[in-house]
Structure 1
Amino acid sequence: MITHFTKYMKTKNLWSCMMVVTTETTPTMLPLRGNITPPHSIKDEEATPETQAEPKHVHGMRDINPINAISHNSAAGAPTIASVPKFVSFADHRQWELQHMAAVFRHWSRQNYVFGISGHISVRDPEYPNAFWTNPLGVHFGLLRASDMILLSLDGEVLHPPQHPAAKVIDNLKDHTSSHRARTRPANAAGFLIHAALHKRRADVHAACHCHTPHGRAYSAFAKPLEMTTQDICKFYERHSVYESYGGVVLAAEEGEHIADALGPVNMGVILRNHGLLTVGETVDQAAWLFDVMEAGCRDQLMIDAAEGAAREQGRSYRRCLIEREEAEYNREMEGGAEICYAEFQAYYDYEFEMCGGDFTK
């Protein structure tokens, strides 16, 4: 028994084949109807898709909090996802911030963001706004706890914990628990210069994240902003920039100031040429989620560019579709704010807490 593809059918722009079974010993091909070209001979560049009119898009729920918008039936009293909590004391607020800061580092470890001892996070103290907490130098992200963090003034003084006999102790921090690591490890000098400049420049920046991630490092070599290729990256629509110069390892205050200049007054992220990524936020959770989004955006951009280049070499044409201004602004409005970005990161916080039994909170 011999099987042949014998009849080609054309429906709109789609081709299909009908399988015909015959018991003849010699092939018998039925004639094609009309002037029809078999589908295997159509070249990509010759195929012309039908032009369809763009549907009229409706941008709903712009008049309500994005937390309520994403939580189904919240208007009828259904529960909503978590939003940033309020605190009655500076001590409680501080401990909560440091626990979430430590959770970000644990998450970074799980995301394979660890690269030697590079990378740092800063969180502005709720009671002392001219000071920020940062991680000790040389501790693996996957080991960090809330008690490991070091408090630095914007002028560079170590405020807590006391690291030498003559160090003064802030009265309101006498009861704050600090680990042996915090007492015996230095902060990252480059990290201090970058974060101090950011916190001095922007009162709205309560946290900043920077580390040397694989896709962020690679994409930074192009010194180009990210295109609005996906819904997720629209969080950075007209809210990210590029530091187009490279001045080596940041060990001078001027370089920190240059990075603050590049970030600007409203941006939430900056691509540091030949270096990596930096994001900021009203909470460390927001800054961390935006960092994940920017790293994923760099990965997607590299993949899209590579796919387009490969298609071009093969004589094929891919049409890159970028998100238009109106939709990009809507996405940023509904998914890029402090509350919704905080809520996004809580999925990771809860996972890390479950995986290590809350070890990072100590």
Structure 2
Amino acid sequence: MTIQENDARRHSILALPHADNRLLTAQVPTHDNLQAERLHRKQRLAAAYRLFAELGFEVGVAGHFTARDPIETEHFWINPLGVPFSQIRVSDLLRVDGEGQVVEGEGLLNTSALDLHYELQRARPDVVGIAHVHGFHGRVWSSFGRLFEPITAESSAFIDDQVVFQRNALRTASGALEQDRAIVTRAFVERFAQYNLLVWQNHGLWTTGATVESAAWRFIQADDSARAHLLAYAAGQPLVPEIDPTDRPSKERREFFGWLNFLPLWDRIRLQQPDLLD
């Protein structure tokens, strides 16, 4: 299914195939034209940053959300260092190559995690969006070094799709904390493997997606799940239902619903803050 953009239409969901008040598809649409796909990804990336600002996911200059470029597929788009998430526009985004060099755009580059994004993107050709921003609840939950449990419908979406990364477990032969960046990066990528949520112990959450939209929605859903867990366990001992592992939607269907859940957020932010498209 090919995307047919129509931003004059208030509700993007109406551009999807439908009849008798029902959707007729569970497939994420794409563009035939790669230039159009590049613009699409950049627009959704800028919109996601605006949404993250509203949700309080910004802490100083920390955090990064990248989108694989559809033309130069080893490149990615990222936010410029020091530009508030609430002010990021499409024209502000930087395109970075595999050497960590800016090849398009003007602004300062946040180099703190370029290798993590690049190596994860290189290892997983299915991934388009990689999000790691500093949501409060996700950071607090990460201190437990635990996975989410299916105590809510939202957190149950991560069953069998999440993993914990213990940076402090990486030690040299002498027992000292491993400082070699290449070793840490390789361990991170190997640990993330086929999952879409990584809980970096004592640091925060990472999410991936086959689209910018699904990666962004997963991060929002993950921080919400962290909040629910913190509240539930502060109040007592929540009941954890048994989940039939065979009763899970396919990976493609989960991607579609992640993408779909981002649509109303996209509609709202682009109408309220149209300058993000500049």
The TM-score with structure 2 as length reference comes to: 0.84
Q: 2:21 aligns with which of 51, 59, 78?
A: 78
1:276-315 matches, within 5 Å, as 276-308=204-236
- Paired position in structure 2 for 1:154: 98
**Structure 2: which amino acid aligns with 1:323?**
P
* Alpha-carbon spacing, 1:75–1:141, altered in 2? closer, same or farther (3 Å): closer
* Alpha-carbon spacing, 1:329–1:292, altered in 2? closer, same or farther (3 Å): farther
Alpha-carbon distance, 1:323 to partner: 2.9
Instruction: Say if 2:188 is the partner of 1:259.
Output: yes
Deviations 1:253-299 (A, max 9, x none): 433322212212x2001001111110000111100101011111111
List alignment gaps of at least 5 residues for structure 1: 1-70, 162-182, 309-317
1:1-362 matches, within 5 Å, as 77-80=20-23, 84-161=28-105, 183=106, 185-246=107-168, 252-264=181-193, 266-308=194-236, 320-326=238-244, 330=247, 332-333=249-250, 337-356=254-273, 358-362=274-278
SS at structure 1 position matched to 2:157: helix
* Alpha-carbon spacing, 1:141–1:124, altered in 2? closer, same or farther (3 Å): same
Matches of 2:18 and 2:57 in 1, distance apart? 39
Alpha-carbon distance, 1:236 to partner: 0.9
Matches of 2:75 and 2:66 in 1, distance apart? 10
**Structure 2: which amino acid aligns with 1:322?**
V
SS at structure 1 position matched to 2:164: strand
Alpha-carbon distance, 1:186 to partner: 2.3
SS at structure 1 position matched to 2:127: coil
SS at structure 2 position matched to 1:222: coil
Identical aligned pairs, as a percentage? 26
Matches of 2:246 and 2:198 in 1, distance apart? 19
List alignment gaps of at least 5 residues for structure 2: 1-13, 171-176
* Alpha-carbon spacing, 1:298–1:81, altered in 2? closer, same or farther (3 Å): farther
SS at structure 1 position matched to 2:247: helix
Matches of 1:131 and 1:107 in 2, distance apart? 24
Aligned residue pair count: 254
Runs of 4+ in structure 1 over 6 Å off: none
Matches of 2:24 and 2:86 in 1, distance apart? 27
Matches of 2:147 and 2:189 in 1, distance apart? 17
Q: CA RMSD in A?
A: 2.5
**Conserved in 2, the CA contact under 8 Å of 1:211 and 1:277?**
yes
The TM-score with structure 1 as length reference comes to: 0.65
Matches of 1:222 and 1:90 in 2, distance apart? 42
Structure with bigger gyration radius = 1
- Is the deviation greater in 280-289 or in 345-354? 345-354
SS at structure 1 position matched to 2:206: strand
SS at structure 1 position matched to 2:58: coil
Matches of 1:78 and 1:89 in 2, distance apart? 30
**Structure 2: which amino acid aligns with 1:102?**
A
SS at structure 1 position matched to 2:76: strand
Q: Which is bigger in relative contact order (C-alpha 8 A, separation at least 6)?
A: 2
- Paired position in structure 2 for 1:170: none
